Amino acid sequence: MKATLISKENNEAKFTIEITAEEFENAVIDVYKSQKDKFVIDGFRKGKAPRSIIEKKYGETIFFEDAINKLFSLHYPLALDELDLDVIDNPKADFSELKKGEGFTITIEVACYPEIEVKDYKGVEIEAVKSEVTDEDVEAELKKEQEKNSRTVTVEDRGAENGDITTIDFEGFVDGEAFEGGKGTDYPLTLGSNSFIPGFEDQLVGSKAGDHVEVKVTFPEEYQAKELAGKEAVFQCDVKKVEAKELPELDDDFAQDVSEFDTLAEYKEDVKKNLTEKKEKAARTAKENAAVDKAIENAEMDIPDAMLNTQVRQMLDDFSRRMQSQGLTMEQYFQFTGMTLDKMQEEMKPQALKRIQTRLVLEKIAEVENIQPTEEEVEEEFKKMADAYKMEVEKIKELLGDRELEQMKKDMAVQKAVTLIADEAKEA
């Protein structure tokens, strides 16, 4: 085998692999030996027919395809190593004329990983993110806890208000005709939740149990059901019940009910402490993201289409698996949302590009800075994995192959690169 680089520009490499007549013949012999048992030839026991007889009956090229595949799978990785090519996509291969007893040439075109130049990633200027917790933040958190511990009471002495839960029967009509999906019975609708068509809930404000309300709305132009988009509709609604949320008092008893603390003051302090931890963590994440974004802006790279398309396909596959876990096929999702495959791919491209740029820049910075996880850090990561999967550390190590271990170390190095960039960043 001889590999020769023809060209490498714009992240596209073109090279040849020359296969000698001897290599080709040996591959054909190997294929014949592995497949001869498949052929039944008159006058020969199964698996005993000579190669020449099989080729005479089925053609001399009968073993060529498998021989070529065998040679390609063997020599293609060797050629990449010899030519120092780091590829990102399946190659396009063209073969010269194949003849028995002769060698041939494979001409290959393949996309390569782009060259990355990182610069000015230390000391980038970013906007400071506040992590201070205010009294208003604490009060809002207490309000959420009140809501979680609220009870509903039937309202009879007033009309429904925003925040109330109305139980309704409804049926919708367009041009006097009922439409599919426009009917519901004993439906709990929280007014002000904006879960129905714009304007629907507003027209139920003031209603009481036993009222009949005629609700007139217009479906949005971008409504998922295309046959209803932009259409005027009338819903005949019967209000069967109105309920309001009754919040518990904020006092020591409340604190004792929802926490381990005896007083409201202690509980508030704990709420503030937890909010502070959350905000500091969120601020750190925001700082890291901003610093990485600046590093990407300052880097020079040209992402090949093949790399972008591969990332989009992976994101589509991930999305499809999530839909399947919810009992939906992609076809059903497209039907319900009005989305198309082409539109989704286009919408995913900016995010896909950002993912690629982020990973490449961080990997390059880790390389430039010679960032590697220590043995202690790797062991700690093993412990985290063991805890997460409720397994012994040694078992985790057994299950991880060399490739998985290297990927884990690379991921750790990338995260350390993020830490480096963020720690060196200047907040304005």
- DSSP per residue over 259-299, as a string? SS-SSHHHHHHHHHHHHHHHHHHHHHHHHHHHHHHHHHHH-
Quickly count: other Cβ atoms within 10 Å of residue 77's Cβ: 11
Confidence band, pLDDT 50/70/90 cuts, at residue 333:
confident
Looking at residue 40, which CATH number applies to its domain?
3.30.70.1050
Contacts for 230 with CB less than 8 Å, ≥ 6 apart:
218, 219, 220, 221, 223
In a domain, 129, yes or no: no
Question: Do 103 and 13 reside in the same domain of the chain?
Answer: yes
Confidence band, pLDDT 50/70/90 cuts, at residue 46:
confident
Amino acid 222: pLDDT: 83
**Contact (Cβ atoms closer than 8 angstroms) between residue 373 and residue 413:** yes
Question: Do 240 and 273 reside in the same domain of the chain?
Answer: no
Amino acid 13: pLDDT: 93
Determine the Cα–Cα distance for residues 203 and 194; give it in Å rounded to an integer: 12
**Per the structure block, which two tokens stand in for 239?**
């209000």
Amino acid 269: pLDDT: 96
Question: Do 23 and 171 reside in the same domain of the chain?
Answer: no
Amino acid 145: pLDDT: 95
3-state class (DSSP) for residue 172: strand
Amino acid 387: pLDDT: 93
Question: Do 415 and 284 reside in the same domain of the chain?
Answer: yes
- What angle, rounded to 10 degrees, do the helices at 402-424 and 341-368 form? 80
Q: Is the pLDDT of residue 224 over 80?
A: no
Radius of gyration of the CA atoms of the chain, in A: 33
Say which residue, 79 or 338, is predicted with more confidence.
79
Question: Do 361 and 269 reside in the same domain of the chain?
Answer: yes
Q: Which of 183, 218, 246 is the last residue of a domain?
A: 246
> Count of domains in the chain?
3
Amino acid 227: pLDDT: 85
Amino acid 167: pLDDT: 96
Strand ranges inside 155-287, DSSP E: 165-174, 177-190, 212-218, 232-246
**Contact (Cβ atoms closer than 8 angstroms) between residue 40 and residue 46:** yes
When mean pLDDT is compared across 21-35, 43-57, 241-255, the lowest value belongs to 43-57
Confidence band, pLDDT 50/70/90 cuts, at residue 240:
very high
Q: Report the alpha-carbon angle 222-228-231, nearest 5.
A: 90
Q: Which of 82, 111, 140 is the last residue of a domain?
A: 111
Measured CA distances, 408 to 198, 355, 402, 413 (Å):
49, 18, 10, 9
Q: State the average pLDDT over residues 209-225.
A: 90
Please, how many CA atoms are within 13 Å of residue 73, restricted to the half-sphere of its CB?
7
Closest CA to 137 of 275, 280, 320: 275
Per residue in 268-324, pLDDT (tens digit) is 999 999 999 999 999 999 999 999 999 999 999 999 888 899 999 999 999 999 999
Question: Do 238 and 303 reside in the same domain of the chain?
Answer: no
In a domain, 187, yes or no: yes
In a domain, 48, yes or no: yes
Q: Which residues of 384-423 are buried (b: 16+ CB within 10 A; e: fewer)?
A: ebbeeeeeeeeebeeeeeeeeeeebebebbbbbbbebbbe
Amino acid 255: pLDDT: 95
In a domain, 137, yes or no: no
Could you tell me what percent of the chain has a pLDDT over 90? 78
In a domain, 413, yes or no: yes
Question: Do 281 and 361 reside in the same domain of the chain?
Answer: yes
Per residue in 129-139, pLDDT (tens digit) is 888 999 999 99
**Contact (Cβ atoms closer than 8 angstroms) between residue 28 and residue 55:** no
Residue 167: Cβ-neighbour burial (10 angstroms; 0-12, 13-18, 19+):
middle
Amino acid 127: pLDDT: 93
**Per the structure block, which two tokens stand in for 51?**
């190669």
Amino acid 88: pLDDT: 85
Question: Do 94 and 65 reside in the same domain of the chain?
Answer: yes
- What angle, rounded to 10 degrees, do the helices at 64-83 and 21-35 form? 130
In a domain, 126, yes or no: no
3-state class (DSSP) for residue 153: strand
Looking at residue 178, which CATH number applies to its domain?
3.10.50.40
Q: Is the pLDDT of residue 75 over 80?
A: yes
**pTM of the full structure:** 0.69
Containing domain of residue 50, as a range? Answer: 2-111
How many helical (H) and strand (E) elements, i.e. helices and strands, does the chain have? Answer: 12, 11
Question: Do 239 and 274 reside in the same domain of the chain?
Answer: no
Q: Which of 111, 142, 173 is the last residue of a domain?
A: 111
Amino acid 129: pLDDT: 87
Question: Do 161 and 281 reside in the same domain of the chain?
Answer: no
In a domain, 254, yes or no: no
Question: Do 44 and 157 reside in the same domain of the chain?
Answer: no
In a domain, 103, yes or no: yes
Question: Do 14 and 95 reside in the same domain of the chain?
Answer: yes
Per residue in 171-216, pLDDT (tens digit) is 999 999 998 888 999 999 999 998 888 999 999 999 999 999 999 9
Q: What distance, in Å, lies between the first and last C-alpha atoms of the chain? A: 59
Amino acid 212: pLDDT: 96
